[in-house]
Structure 1
Amino acid sequence: MKITICGGTGFIGKALSEHLLQQGHEVVIITRKVPETAQNGSKYLTWDQIDATPVLLEGTEAIVNLAGSSLSQRWTPKSKQSIIESRMKTVQAVSKLVHTLHQKPAVVVQASAIAIYGTSRVDTFSEESPEHVVDFPSSVVKEWEDTAELIQGVRLIKLRTSVVLGTHGGAFPLMKLPYTLGFGGKIGSGKQWVSWIHLHDMVRLIEFCITHPDISGPVNASAPEPVTNNQFGQTVGHIYHRPHWFPVPSFLMKTFLGELSLIILEGQRVIPDKILKHGFRFDYPTLEKALQNLKEN
C-alpha cells in the first residue's frame, strides 16, 4: 500500500514509517521541513508542496495524521493557542487534501487522545464511553475530533492515544529518570490511573486499523492492563533495580509545572475494547513485559 504519514518525523511517526517499510509498504512523509538525513526508503514532501501540488499524493491508499504540537510544554496562553492551532490546521489540511484528490484514500487515521474521556479514579472508559470536557487537555481533544469530522468521503479512525512507551522519545525517558537517579516514587496520591502502550504495539495497531476495513470511529490506543501511578513506579523500580521510595507531593508538581501537572496528577483507566474485539493481539499486554523489553533494547 501507498501510505502517507503527516508528522512522520516525530517519535511515533519515525517508528511507524520504519515498521511500514519493513512490511513492504510505500511510505510518503509530510513534514514542515525535509530533514537533512532522510530515512531510507521514505519519500518526503512538505506541507507547502502538497498544498500547491496535491496531485503528488494521488494513489495514496491511507493517510495517518500524527502532526501537532506536543502537550508536554508549560501551558502559557501562547503555548495553548499554538497547541490548538497546530492540531486544527493539520486536520483542515488533510480534509482539503482528501477533498482535492481524484482517487480518495480508503482510510484516514487521525491522531486523538484519551483525554477526551475526562479524568476519574473509579471509572473505566471504552470507546463507548461519553466524551467529558473538564479541563484544557479534554477541551483540546474534543475540538480536535470535532474538526476531524471535516474529513469526508473516507473511512475515518480517531486514534485515542494513551502514554506511548519507548526508549528514544516520548514520556518514558523522563518518567524513568528519577529512578535512574535513585529518587523514584509515587507522584501525588499515586492512585491516579496511567493508561499506556508500548511503541511497538502502537505502530502495529495503526497498521491493523489501516488494513481492516471493518474498523472505524474512535479506537483506544492503549494496552489492556492500565496501572495506577504507584504501580507504574513500582514496576519501573523492579525492572531497573532501583528503589521506589521518594514520594513527590502534588503541590510540588503544580508549582513546577503549573496547569500541565494535570496530565500527571489526574488520569483515566482506558480499555481498548474495539481493537480487541476485532482480533488485535498485543505483543506487550502487561507493563512488566513492556518495560523489560525497553530495558533490553
Structure 2
Amino acid sequence: MKIAICGGTGFIGQALCKHFISQGHQVMIVTRKQPDHSSKENSITYVTWDDMKSNPGQFEGLDALINLAGASLSQRWTTQGKERIHTSRQKTVSAVADLMNVLEHKPPVVVQASAMAIYGTSEDKTFDELSPPRVMDFPSEVVSMWEEAADRIQTDRVVKLRISVVLGNEGGAFPKMILPYKLGLGGKIGSGQQWMSWIHLDDIVRLIDFCIHHPEINGPVNAASPKPVTNDLFGRTAAKVYHRPHWFPVPSFLLKGVLGELSMILLEGQRILPVKALDHGFEFQYAELKDALSALKKQ
C-alpha cells in the first residue's frame, strides 16, 4: 500500500510510520520541512506542505491519507496561542481538502485527527459516537470547527478519529503525568473525580490501521480504551504499577494559578466509549489501564 501521513514526524505519526513500514508499505510523510539527515529509508518519502500544494500529482493513487497535523493544545492559551491552535488545524485540514479536489485518483479513505473535546466535559455523562457535539469551552470549540473543516474533504470515506489521552513513553502527556509518581510526589489533581479517557499508543496505531482496512467504518470513531478511569483511579493505578505513593494532591486553585485556562484539560474530563470500534470487531490489546501502564514501564 501507498500511505501518506500528514504530521508523520509527531508522536503518533512516528509510531504509525514504523508500523506501516514493518508491514512493507510505502509511506509519504508530509511535514513542514525536509529532515536534515542524509540517509533515508527506501520505504519513506518526505514531502513538505508546499510541495503538496505545488505538485499534487505525487499523491495520485494513494491507498490512504492520514492527517494528524495541528498545533498542540498543551500550550498557554494566550490570545496568540489560541489563534495559533485554530489556524494550524484549519490550514492543514484545508490543505488536505484542496488536495482531494485536484486528484484524479483519490485515496478511498482519509483518516482525519479529531479529539474527544468535541463532547464537552462532564463528570456524570457518558459519550459515544452518536452523542452530539457540545461546544462549551475553548477545546470543544476548536474541535468542532476542526470537524466542520473536515467535512470539506471529498473522498469515499472520511474517518474522524476522536483521540483521547494517548499513553506512550516517547511523547504526548504521559511522561509529564507519570513524572510526579516517579519522584514519589503523585496524587490526585483537583477533586480526582474528573474522567480520563485514554488509549495506549500501540492501540491507536492498530485502530488507525483497522479503520483503513474496514471500508464499512466511516465518520466519527472514538480512539479510547473501553475502560476510562477517574483521575484519582489513574493515580492509584500508576502508584501500584510504579511502586510509589499516591498521597500528594494538587489543589485546583494552584493548578489554575500555574497553568491558567489550560488547567481545565486536567481539572475537567470526558468519559467516552469506543462503541463504533467495538461494534466492528476491533480488539484492544490494552483495555485495562494497569496492563497499559505495566507495558509502558517495561519499555
* TM-score (ref. length: structure 2): 0.98
Give, in angstroms, the shift of residue 153 of structure 1. 3.0
Q: Which amino acid aligns with 2:221?
A: V
2:124 maps to which of 114, 122, 125: 122
Paired with 2:47 and 2:231, the residues of 1 have a C-alpha distance of 40
Tell me which residue corresponds to 2:214.
212
Structure 2 matches for 1:238-257, cutoff 5 A?
A: 238-257=240-259
* Other structure's SS at 1:262 match: helix
How far does the alpha carbon of each residue in 1:45-78 deviate from its partner, in whole angstroms, 9 at most, with x for none?
A: 0011111010011111110000000000010000
Residue range with higher mean Cα deviation, 41-50 or 142-151:
41-50
* Other structure's SS at 1:83 match: helix
CA gap of 1:39–1:278, structure 2 versus 1, over 3 A, is farther
Tell me which residue corresponds to 1:12.
12
Tell me which residue corresponds to 2:283.
281
* Other structure's SS at 1:48 match: helix
Q: Which amino acid aligns with 2:264?
A: L
**Superposition CA RMSD, Å:** 0.8
Paired with 1:117 and 1:30, the residues of 2 have a C-alpha distance of 29
Q: Which amino acid aligns with 2:283?
A: R
Paired with 2:284 and 2:21, the residues of 1 have a C-alpha distance of 20
Give, in angstroms, the shift of residue 34 of structure 1. 1.5
* Other structure's SS at 1:189 match: coil
Unaligned runs of 5+ in 1: none
* Other structure's SS at 1:214 match: coil
Give, in angstroms, the shift of residue 154 of structure 1. 2.4
User: Identity over aligned residues, as a percent?
Assistant: 61
Q: Which amino acid aligns with 2:238?
A: V
Tell me which residue corresponds to 2:195.
193
Tell me which residue corresponds to 2:110.
108
* Other structure's SS at 1:110 match: strand
Tell me which residue corresponds to 1:263.
265
Paired with 1:112 and 1:150, the residues of 2 have a C-alpha distance of 15
Paired with 2:291 and 2:96, the residues of 1 have a C-alpha distance of 36
Q: Which amino acid aligns with 1:14?
A: Q
Paired with 2:220 and 2:30, the residues of 1 have a C-alpha distance of 23
* Other structure's SS at 1:159 match: strand
Tell me which residue corresponds to 2:157.
155
* Other structure's SS at 2:169 match: coil
Paired with 2:121 and 2:205, the residues of 1 have a C-alpha distance of 26
Tell me which residue corresponds to 1:79.
81
Paired with 1:39 and 1:139, the residues of 2 have a C-alpha distance of 39
* Other structure's SS at 1:206 match: helix
Unaligned runs of 5+ in 2: none
Task: Give yes or no for the alignment of 1:44 onto 2:79.
Answer: no
Q: Which amino acid aligns with 2:21?
A: L
* Other structure's SS at 1:75 match: coil
* TM-score (ref. length: structure 1): 0.99
Give, in angstroms, the shift of residue 42 of structure 1. 1.2
* Other structure's SS at 1:9 match: coil
1:166 maps to which of 165, 168, 186: 168
Tell me which residue corresponds to 1:221.
223
How far does the alpha carbon of each residue in 1:207-253 deviate from its partner, in whole angstroms, 9 at most, with x for none?
A: 10011000000000000000000000011111111100000000011
CA gap of 1:281–1:247, structure 2 versus 1, over 3 A, is same
* Other structure's SS at 1:167 match: coil
Task: Give yes or no for the alignment of 1:183 onto 2:161.
Answer: no
Tell me which residue corresponds to 1:65.
67
Paired with 1:183 and 1:4, the residues of 2 have a C-alpha distance of 42
Q: What is the number of residues matched between the two proteins?
A: 297
Paired with 1:34 and 1:267, the residues of 2 have a C-alpha distance of 37
Structure 2 matches for 1:13-32, cutoff 5 A?
A: 13-32=13-32
Give, in angstroms, the shift of residue 39 of structure 1. 6.0
Paired with 2:15 and 2:36, the residues of 1 have a C-alpha distance of 18
Tell me which residue corresponds to 2:292.
290
Paired with 1:23 and 1:68, the residues of 2 have a C-alpha distance of 27
Residue range with higher mean Cα deviation, 15-24 or 269-278:
15-24
How far does the alpha carbon of each residue in 1:149-188 deviate from its partner, in whole angstroms, 9 at most, with x for none?
A: 1101320000000000000111000001111111100000
